[in-house]
C-alpha cells in the first residue's frame, strides 16, 4: 500500500523571505532588461546616425557646380554632374557614404595594414602582402598613368575625403569603426590602385600550383607526382630535378598564405542580332568571386556631358569596370593565364642579401617595412627583392636558408588598368573599346563586347609572358638566364573573335585556344562543364529572348554528374556490400535528374561523394596544408576518374584498391556524412539544408555579431559545376562563392539593364538596401536599372551636393 505524502505547512517567516527574494530577482531582472534595452537603444541610435544622407543638400568643398544624386528603389546612385571633375568627386563621396568601412578594409588588406586595427592575429597575413608588394606595385603604377587619369583618381579621392571629414565631424562614421576602435585615414589615389592590384592577385594566380607541385616532388615519386600535373612540363626532366635538388622550407608560407578561391572565374556571352529576338545584340555576364556583406560590387550610374555609363565597380575605385553606355556593353571572365613564375634563388652564404645570377652575386633591393600592430609595438619587417621579384618563401622565418623562392608576376610591374576603365565608358564602338584595352595589362581577362551597330566581339586581353624555357608548372632556377621572360605575347596576336558565323561567343574560364595557337597561355583551365552547358542552351534555340539569358545565368544542370555518376554508381554496384542506408542513397542518386535544386537530396549525396573521393584518392600523400595549394585539384581529379573508369591504370586510385573499392569507400563515407548532418531518413535529405548562403560580413566571424551583420541563411541551389555557380565551404556548407553581380543587357535599348547585386547595395546595417536583394539573388530574379531620368528620379531619394561657399 502506497503512503500518501503529507504536505507540511510553510512557516510565514519563510514565505515572506521567499517573496522578498522573488521581488529582488524580478527587480534585478527588470533593471537588467532596462539596461539591455537602453544599451540596445543607444546602439541603434549610433548605427542609425551613421546612415548616409540621401535627401536634401550637403555642401562639399572643391565642387565647381551642383551635383544631383538620385538613388532609385534599389539604392543605385545615379550621379548627374556638369563636368567630370565634379562627377568623380561625387562618385567618391557617394561610394564612401555606402561603403566606407569596406573601402578601408580593402585597402588595408591589399597594403598589409590590417594588424594596425585588428591586432597580432593578422600579422602573418600582413607580412604576406608586404612581401608580395601590392602597394609598392600600386605606387609604381601611379607614375605611368596619364595626367587625365591621375586627375580622375585625385578627384575621386577628394570626394572620399570630404565624406570622411564630414562623418568624423558629425560622429556618423559607420558602426564598424566604433566596434574596432579606430577612425579611417585620408584616401589617396594609391589606395584605389592598391585595391585594383588586390583584384589582380585574386584573379591572376598559379604561383600556389607551382608551390604544390614543388612540395609534391619532395614527398612522392616523380611518376606519382606527374599524375597530378595538369600537363607534362616542357623541359620536364631538368626542371623537376632542379626542384628536387633545391628544397625550400615553405611551411610558414603555406600556413599564412591568402590563397584566392580556386573557383574564381565567371560566365559571359554575347548574342548576335540575328540570334536575338529584339534584332540587336544581347550580353550577359556574372563574374564569380567571393560572396560577402557588403557585395564586392557597387552598382552606379555616372552622367556628365561626355559620359553616360552604368554598371559596377569595386568600392574604392573610380569609374565603371563592367557595364554599358548608350551604345555598347561589355563583360569579363578570367583568362587564368600563367603570369606568375617562382624562381629558386641561391643565397650567398657570406651575405644573405646577395643572390647568384650567371656566376656572380647580385644584391637584392631591400624594403624596410614597418607594420603597426594594435596593442603591441610595431614590427620591422625587411623584404628582399631580387631581379625576379620579391622573396616570398621566408617571411615568417628568422633563419636565412641557402635557397629561397622569388615571385615574377606581371601585376607587380607598373600597369594602367584604371586608365582603361575610364576609357571603356566613353567608347562608342568596337574599335574604340579595343583601343581602350591597350591600357589593360593585369589581370588578363576574357572581354566580350556588344554594340548597337550589331557588332559582337571577344578578346583575351592582358600581358602574358613569353619564356625562354619552361611553362610555369614548377619553380625554375633563378641563378641562370635559361628561364627568363623574353617579352609578352604581341598585343595584335592575343586571341580575338569578331562576329563569328554561329551567332554567339561565350566564355567560362575554359580553354580559349586550340593547339595551333603559337603561344603558351596557361596550363590550368576551368572544368568544361559551365561552358558546355552555356553552349548547349545557346545552340538549342534559333532566336533567344532576354528571359532565356536570365534563366541560363541561374541554370542548375550538373554536367559533372552527367559524366561521372553512371560510372561511379556502376563501380559501387559491382563492389556490392551495400548497407540499407547505402541502398537508399544509391536509389536517390539513380533517380536524380542532375539538377542541383535546393530541395533535392541527390545534389547533397553527389557533392559529398565528390569531396570524399578527393580525400580517399589524394590522402595521406597530400596533406591538408598541401591541399590548400592544390589549385588544379578538380581538373586532376576528373582526369584520374576518367582514366580509371575507362579501365586504364591509374596509380593514385590503384594503390587505394582500384576504382571499385575507392568508389564504394568514398560513397559510404559520403552517406555517413549526410546522415550525420541531416539524419538517417534519406527521403528528408536536401541540398539546401546544407548548401546555404548568409553573405558573411567581416565582423560576422565574431559571435554574436554574425546575428546582426550577416544575412539570414537561405537555401541555395547550384554548385561549382553549374552555370548558376555557387561554391561552398566543404566543412560548413556555407555558400561563399558565386556571381554576386549578374547583368543582362539588350542593345535594342542600351539605356537600361537587368541586374542583381547580392546581397544589396548598402554596407550600412540599418539601410533598407543592406540585404534587400538576397531573395532576388537566390531565386534568379532581376531589377531594372535605367539611365532614363523619368525612371530613376521617380523614387524620391534626391541629394544635391553643393559647392561649399
pLDDT tens for each residue of 191-206: 999 999 999 998 877 8
The beta strands (E) that lie in 499-597 are given as 504-507
Say if residue 694 carries a ligand binding annotation: no
266 as an active site residue: the answer is yes
Residue 42's pLDDT is: 46
* Alpha carbon distances (Å) from 377 to 107, 123, 183, 334, 618: 22, 12, 19, 41, 43
- Determine, yes or no, domain membership for 328: no
Residue 33 has pLDDT above 60, yes or no: no
Do residues 186 and 103 lie in contact, with contact meaning Cβ atoms separated by under 8 Å? Answer: no
The least confident of 222-236, 537-551, 595-609, 657-671 is 222-236
Q: Give the integer Cα–Cα distance in Å for 151 and 84.
A: 10
Cell triple for 8: 507540511
Residue 243's pLDDT is: 65
Asked whether the CA dihedral 786, 790, 796, 801 is positive or negative, the reply is positive
375 burial (CB, 10 Å; 0-12 / 13-18 / 19+) is: exposed
- Determine, yes or no, domain membership for 36: yes
Residue 9 has pLDDT above 50, yes or no: no
Phi then psi dihedrals of residue 582, to 5 deg: -65, -40
Residue 422 has pLDDT above 50, yes or no: yes
Per-residue pLDDT band at 257 (split at 50, 70, 90): confident
Say if residue 341 carries a ligand binding annotation: yes
Q: Which residues contact 570 (CB under 8 A, 6 or more apart)?
A: none
Phi then psi dihedrals of residue 696, to 5 deg: -65, 135
Q: Give the integer Cα–Cα distance in Å for 193 and 94.
A: 19
What is the arithmetic mean of pLDDT over 362-375? 97
Nearest to 386 by CA among 326, 437, 346, 329: 346
- Determine, yes or no, domain membership for 373: no
- Determine, yes or no, domain membership for 38: yes
The least confident of 33-47, 143-157, 222-236 is 33-47
Q: Which residue of the set 111, 266, 767, 786 is catalytic?
A: 266
Residue 46's pLDDT is: 63
Give Dmax (Cα) for the chain.
Answer: 105
Residue 802's pLDDT is: 98
- Determine, yes or no, domain membership for 45: yes
pLDDT tens, position by position, 607-665:
999 999 999 999 999 999 899 899 899 999 999 999 999 999 999 999 999 999 999 99
Query: Pairing mode, if any, of strands 56-60 and 797-803?
Result: parallel
Percent of the chain whose predicted confidence (pLDDT) is above 70: 91
Residue 8's pLDDT is: 42
Cell triple for 207: 604561383
Q: Higher pLDDT residue, 25 or 699?
A: 699
Q: Which residues contact 446 (CB under 8 A, 6 or more apart)?
A: 268, 332, 333, 334, 335, 458, 459, 460, 507, 509, 512
Cell triple for 123: 600579422
Cβ atoms within 10 Å, residue 711:
23
Q: Give the integer Cα–Cα distance in Å for 564 and 586.
A: 14
What is the arithmetic mean of pLDDT over 171-197? 97
Nearest to 737 by CA among 697, 693, 684, 706: 693
- For the chain, the domain total comes to 1
The least confident of 196-205, 321-330, 407-416 is 196-205
Do residues 679 and 686 lie in contact, with contact meaning Cβ atoms separated by under 8 Å? Answer: no
Per-residue pLDDT band at 137 (split at 50, 70, 90): very high
Cell triple for 129: 602582402
- Determine, yes or no, domain membership for 335: no
Do residues 753 and 743 lie in contact, with contact meaning Cβ atoms separated by under 8 Å? Answer: yes
pLDDT tens, position by position, 535-577:
999 999 999 999 999 999 999 999 999 999 999 999 999 977 8
Per-residue pLDDT band at 32 (split at 50, 70, 90): very low
- Determine, yes or no, domain membership for 47: yes
Q: What length is written for the chain? A: 805
Output the average pLDDT for the chain.
92
- 84-111 and 134-142 are packed helices; what angle lies between their axes, rounded to 10 degrees? 150
Do residues 710 and 739 lie in contact, with contact meaning Cβ atoms separated by under 8 Å? Answer: no
Task: List the domain range (segments joined by +) for residue 26.
Answer: 22-51
pLDDT tens, position by position, 755-776:
999 999 999 999 999 999 999 9
Residue 10 has pLDDT above 50, yes or no: no
- Determine, yes or no, domain membership for 647: no
Cell triple for 285: 555576364
Amino acid at each position: 500500500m502506497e503512503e500518501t505524502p503529507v504536505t507540511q505547512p510553510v512557516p510565514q517567516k519563510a514565505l515572506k523571505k521567499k517573496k522578498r527574494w522573488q521581488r529582488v530577482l524580478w527587480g534585478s531582472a527588470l533593471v537588467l532588461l532596462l539596461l539591455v534595452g537602453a544599451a540596445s537603444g543607444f546602439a541603434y541610435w549610433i548605427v542609425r546616425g551613421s546612415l548616409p544622407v540621401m535627401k536634401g543638400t550637403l555642401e562639399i568643398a572643391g565642387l565647381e557646380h551642383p551635383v544631383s544624386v538620385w538613388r532609385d528603389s534599389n539604392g543605385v546612385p545615379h550621379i548627374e554632374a556638369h563636368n567630370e571633375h565634379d562627377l568623380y568627386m561625387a562618385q567618391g563621396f557617394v561610394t564612401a557614404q555606402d561603403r566606407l568601412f569596406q573601402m578601408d578594409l580593402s585597402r588595408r588588406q591589399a597594403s598589409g595594414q590590417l594588424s594596425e586595427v585588428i591586432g597580432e592575429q593578422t600579422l602573418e597575413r600582413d607580412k604576406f602582402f608586404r612581401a608580395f608588394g601590392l602597394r609598392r606595385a600600386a605606387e609604381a603604377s601611379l607614375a605611368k598613368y596619364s595626367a587625365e587619369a591621375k586627375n580622375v583618381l585625385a578627384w575621386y579621392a577628394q570626394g572620399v575625403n570630404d565624406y570622411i571629414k564630414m562623418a568624423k565631424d558629425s560622429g556618423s562614421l559607420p558602426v564598424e569603426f566604433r566596434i574596432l576602435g579606430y577612425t579611417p585615414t585620408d584616401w589617396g589615389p594609391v589606395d584605389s590602385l592598391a585595391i585594383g592590384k588586390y583584384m589582380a592577385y585574386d584573379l591572376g594566380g598559379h604561383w600556389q600550383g607551382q608551390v604544390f607541385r614543388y612540395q609534391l616532388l619532395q614527398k612522392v615519386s616523380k611518376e606519382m607526382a606527374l599524375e597530378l600535373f595538369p600537363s607534362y612540363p616542357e623541359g620536364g626532366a631538368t626542371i623537376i630535378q632542379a626542384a628536387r635538388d633545391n628544397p625550400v622550407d615553405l611551411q610558414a608560407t603555406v600556413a599564412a598564405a591568402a590563397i584566392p578561391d580556386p573557383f574564381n572565374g565567371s560566365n559571359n556571352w554575347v548574342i548576335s542580332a540575328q540570334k536575338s529576338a529584339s534584332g540587336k545584340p544581347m550580353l550577359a555576364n556574372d563574374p564569380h568571386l567571393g560572396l560577402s556583406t557588403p557585395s564586392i560590387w557597387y552598382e552606379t550610374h555616372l552622367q556628365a556631358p561626355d559620359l553616360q555609363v552604368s554598371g559596377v565597380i569595386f568600392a574604392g575605385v573610380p569609374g565603371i569596370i563592367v557595364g554599358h553606355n548608350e551604345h555598347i556593353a561589355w563583360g569579363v571572365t578570367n583568362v587564368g593565364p600563367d603570369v606568375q613564375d617562382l624562381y629558386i634563388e641561391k643565397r650567398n652564404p657570406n651575405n644573405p642579401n646577395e643572390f647568384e645570377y650567371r656566376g656572380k652575386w647580385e644584391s637584392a633591393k631591400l624594403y624596410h617595412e614597418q607594420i603597426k600592430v594594435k596593442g603591441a609595438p610595431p614590427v620591422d619587417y625587411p623584404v628582399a627583392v631580387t631581379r625576379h621579384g620579391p622573396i616570398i618563401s621566408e617571411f615568417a622565418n628568422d633563419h636565412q636558408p641557402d635557397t629561397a623562392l622569388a615571385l615574377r608576376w606581371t601585376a607587380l610591374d607598373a600597369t594602367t588598368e584604371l586608365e582603361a576603365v575610364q576609357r571603356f565608358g566613353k567608347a562608342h564602338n568596337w574599335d574604340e573599346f579595343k583601343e581602350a584595352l591597350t591600357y589593360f595589362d593585369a589581370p588578363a581577362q576574357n572581354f566580350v563586347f556588344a554594340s548597337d551597330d550589331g557588332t559582337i566581339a571577344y578578346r583575351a586581353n592582358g600581358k602574358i609572358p613569353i619564356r625562354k624555357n619552361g611553362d610555369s608548372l614548377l619553380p625554375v632556377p633563378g641563378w641562370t638566364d635559361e628561364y627568363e621572360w623574353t617579352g609578352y605575347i604581341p598585343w595584335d596576336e592575343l586571341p580575338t573573335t569578331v562576329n563569328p558565323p554561329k551567332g554567339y561567343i561565350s566564355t567560362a574560364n575554359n580553354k580559349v585556344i586550340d593547339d595551333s595557337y603559337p603561344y603558351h597561355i596557361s596550363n590550368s583551365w576551368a572544368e568544361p562543364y559551365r561552358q558546355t552547358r552555356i553552349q548547349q542552351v545557346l545552340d538549342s534555340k534559333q532566336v533567344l529572348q532576354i528571359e532565356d539569358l536570365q534563366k541560363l545565368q541561374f541554370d542548375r544542370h550538373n554536367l559533372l554528374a552527367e559524366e561521372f555518376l553512371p560510372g561511379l554508381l556502376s563501380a559501387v554496384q559491382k563492389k556490392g556490400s551495400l548497407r540499407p542506408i547505402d541502398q537508399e542513397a544509391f536509389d536517390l542518386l539513380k533517380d536524380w535528374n542532375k539538377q542541383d535544386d535546393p530541395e533535392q537530396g541527390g545534389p547533397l549525396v553527389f557533392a559529398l561523394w565528390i569531396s570524399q573521393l578527393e580525400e580517399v584518392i589524394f590522402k595521406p600523400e597530400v596533406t591538408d596544408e598541401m591541399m590548400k595549394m592544390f589549385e588544379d585539384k578538380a581538373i586532376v581529379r576528373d582526369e584520374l576518374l576518367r582514366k580509371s573508369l575507362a579501365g586504364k591504370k591509374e596509380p593514385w586510385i590503384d594503390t587505394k584498391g582500384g576504382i571499385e573499392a575507392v568508389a564504394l569507400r568514398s560513397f559510404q563515407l559520403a552517406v555517413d556524412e549526410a546522415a550525420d548532418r541531416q539524419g538517417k531518413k534519406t527521403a528528408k535529405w536536401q541540398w539546401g539544408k546544407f548548401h546555404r548562403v548568409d553573405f558573411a560580413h567581416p565582423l560576422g566571424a565574431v559571435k554574436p555579431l554574425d546575428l546582426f551583420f550577416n544575412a539570414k541563411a537561405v537555401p541555395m541551389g547550384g554548385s561549382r559545376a553549374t552555370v548558376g555557380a555557387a561554391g561552398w565551404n566543404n566543412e560548413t556548407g556555407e555558400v561563399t562563392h558565386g556571381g554576386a553581380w549578374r547583368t543582362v543587357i539588350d542593345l535594342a535599348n542600351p539605356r537600361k539593364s537587368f541586374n542583381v547585386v547580392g546581397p544589396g547595395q548598402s554596407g550600412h546595417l540599418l539601410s533598407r538596401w543592406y540585404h534587400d536583394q538576397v531573395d532576388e539573388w537566390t531565386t534568379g530574379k532581376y531589377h531594372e536599372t535605367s539611365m532614363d531620368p523619368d525612371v530613376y528620379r521617380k523614387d524620391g531619394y534626391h541629394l544635391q551636393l553643393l559647392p561649399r561657399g
